[in-house]
Amino acid sequence: MIRVVALRKAAIAGAVGALAWELVLRSVILLGVPTFDIVRTLGTLALPRGPTFAWWSVGMIAHALVGVCWAVFYAYFFWAQFDRKPALQGLVFSAVPAVLALFVVAPQLGLIELGSDQVRLTFDMLLPSLSAMEIAGLLAGHAIFGLVVGAIYTRPVGYRADRPPEIRLCATRASRNGARRPQNAGFIFATGFECSYPTVEHGRWRRDEMHETRHYAFWQRDIELAREIGVTHLRYGPPLHLVFEGPGKFRWDLVDEPMAELELGGPEPIVDLCHFGLPSWLGDFQNPDIAAALAEYARAFATRYPWARYYTPVNEMYVCAKMSALDGLWNEQRRDEPSFLNAVFNLASACARMTDAILEVRPDAILVNSESGEFYQPCCPDEEIVARAEVENERRFLPLDLLYAHEVSDRMLGMICEHGREEDYRRFLARRVPKRSVLGVDYYEWNEKLIDREGNPRALGELFGWSVIASQYWRRYRRTMMHTETNRIDASDAQRWLWRQWHNVQHVRTAGVPLIGFTWYSLTDQIDWGIAIREATGRVDPSGLFDLNRDPRPVGLSYKHLIDMHRDVPEYRHCPAVEELMS
């Protein structure tokens, strides 16, 4: 397992854990209990006849340094290996250094204290020459150390939602000079920067994937890597939660440099304006004011960067509403139907108003509405299980039904009416959908789910595949389509997955569906997406075209080969569906 480690936090945890051990055990020793004195033992090795303050200082420094080393080891190899409270994880881990101290370090110290140049080893000398009270003290000290390290070393990634880090984007080299590359009407080969930024822990902790993957530090290198792969388009999501500081207040310094680089040298950005999170001042997706606020942001963005043409106003509305208001993992962390409906209507309203605001500034803008391609299969013919699958299969369409003015199922309409949203629904039906709307369908190994006998969804893997699921969305909406996201967390299987997804795209195009592009998402590895970023563990998911050192993965080389092989083929060099959108 690869993980991101907060070295400073680990070092602090180790030093504080060692200090806590010393404070507790020193108090016991001062009370006259004959227990093991680790600081005295270490200090008198260096200063056998030194004064108390001298040996204590030296011993404490050595003790703290050893504690730091063990805490770093814990952070790299033990943290978050099992689902227990952090302090308990640290307590379990403390058994490792305790055993080594008891059966390796203590005997070695005993040999050192013999003060002889030559010693004939016996088996007894390899055992800890400690009394029962000393062994108890040694084990207790390690337990205290483990509890403290476990309690301190938590959340190695992310930051407090109300206290974001100071971020400055600086160009490390001169940007490209010259006129911007002209837009072409070829097939879109895309990747993107993973830019999710929901909150967890009931709004207290921000998961900022671009911060965690060090994109803010390496943004210019990341753009260069996208060019090296040969992609024509790049899904780029400026950090809404950092840029939009309040009504009329924007930190454009976080966006200007990357947008200038993309304008001059490409790839063509597909600007992702809202990706699973909101600025803290807007609260969460239960707030009905987000539509007006995000429309202001979209209008300001389009005005500042009038050359940008491709936009995703709100990414995966269904997933955002479900994770935030039905599964209780992100943002508002609710688990009820009324909250889910509120989130859906608020997200769809925001997306519609953002679209209108963008079109006011850029009437020929192309709107890529990226959504997760979901499907639910009942495990058996049990009526309740079948009904649960039917509900989920109807629910998955709800945000797009609103956005695309499509009538919902009778069951969904009943739910809408039950919770007092029928008037809002009718307003969506009267909406005129922009002609340059593109239906993006994302697909991952967990998108197809089985409803088990207990009524719980379980990931099926690739049962039917993207072409079958995407075709369901095509038949419902009849919109120009794009494969907007995919990856494989198992890096050893990523190349096979890439080609399977590509052949799915080819199959759908051959069937006559107007399909404009394909996307491997994302450019670099991601953090904690294997657990839906619901906890800040720092686990690296090796799903990118490049790892977090910005070295290419095999799938990155395969994607480059795929693009090189197809870019000049006539049917990809001139894509009729793209030409129609751009006309």
Distances (CA, A) of 166 to 47, 251, 273: 45, 12, 21
pLDDT digits (tens, 9 = 90+) for 119-166: 666 656 556 677 889 899 999 999 999 999 999 999 999 999 999 999
Please tell me the distance from the alpha carbon of residue 546 to that of residue 524, in angstroms, as a whole number.
5
Please tell me the distance from the alpha carbon of residue 144 to that of residue 54, in angstroms, as a whole number.
25
Radius of gyration of the chain (CA): 29
Question: How many residues does the structure list for the chain?
Answer: 583
**What is the torsional sign of CA 293, 296, 302, 305?**
negative
Residue 447 DSSP symbol: S
List of the chain residues with pLDDT < 50 = none
Q: Using an 8 Å Cβ cutoff, are 193 and 485 in contact? A: no
Q: Using an 8 Å Cβ cutoff, are 539 and 528 in contact? A: yes
Alpha helices in 78-131 (DSSP H): 86-93, 95-100, 106-113
* Structure tokens belonging to residue 559: 């994607």
Please tell me the distance from the alpha carbon of residue 569 to that of residue 583, in angstroms, as a whole number.
22
Burial (CB count within 10 angstroms: exposed 0-12, middle 13-18, buried 19+), residue 248: exposed
**Bridge-based pairing state of the strands 526-527 and 540-541:** antiparallel
Every domain of the chain with CATH number 3.20.20.80 lies at: 159-582
Per-residue confidence (pLDDT) for residue 82, from 0 to 100: 84
Neighbours of 42 (CB within 10 A): 20
* 31 torsion bin: left (phi>0), alpha (psi -120 to 50), beta (else): alpha
Distances (CA, A) of 444 to 207, 336, 395, 572: 21, 26, 19, 24
Phi, psi dihedral angles at 249 (to 5 degrees): -120, 120
Per-residue confidence (pLDDT) for residue 124, from 0 to 100: 62
Per-residue confidence (pLDDT) for residue 110, from 0 to 100: 66
* Structure tokens belonging to residue 281: 């001042």
Please tell me the distance from the alpha carbon of residue 238 to that of residue 235, in angstroms, as a whole number.
10
Output the pTM of the full model.
0.93
Please tell me the distance from the alpha carbon of residue 159 to that of residue 205, in angstroms, as a whole number.
6
32 CA to centre of own chain:
53
Per-residue confidence (pLDDT) for residue 179, from 0 to 100: 52
Per-residue confidence (pLDDT) for residue 383, from 0 to 100: 95
Per-residue confidence (pLDDT) for residue 115, from 0 to 100: 61
159-582: CATH topology:
TIM Barrel (3.20.20)
Amino acid, res. 523: L
Torsion angle of C-alpha atoms 522, 523, 528, 529, degrees rounded to 10 = 10
* Structure tokens belonging to residue 408: 């919902």
Please tell me the distance from the alpha carbon of residue 5 to that of residue 495, in angstroms, as a whole number.
28
Neighbours of 73 (CB within 10 A): 16
Residue 239's nearest CA partner among 194, 202, 283 is: 194
Partnered with residue 272 across adjacent β-strands are: 312
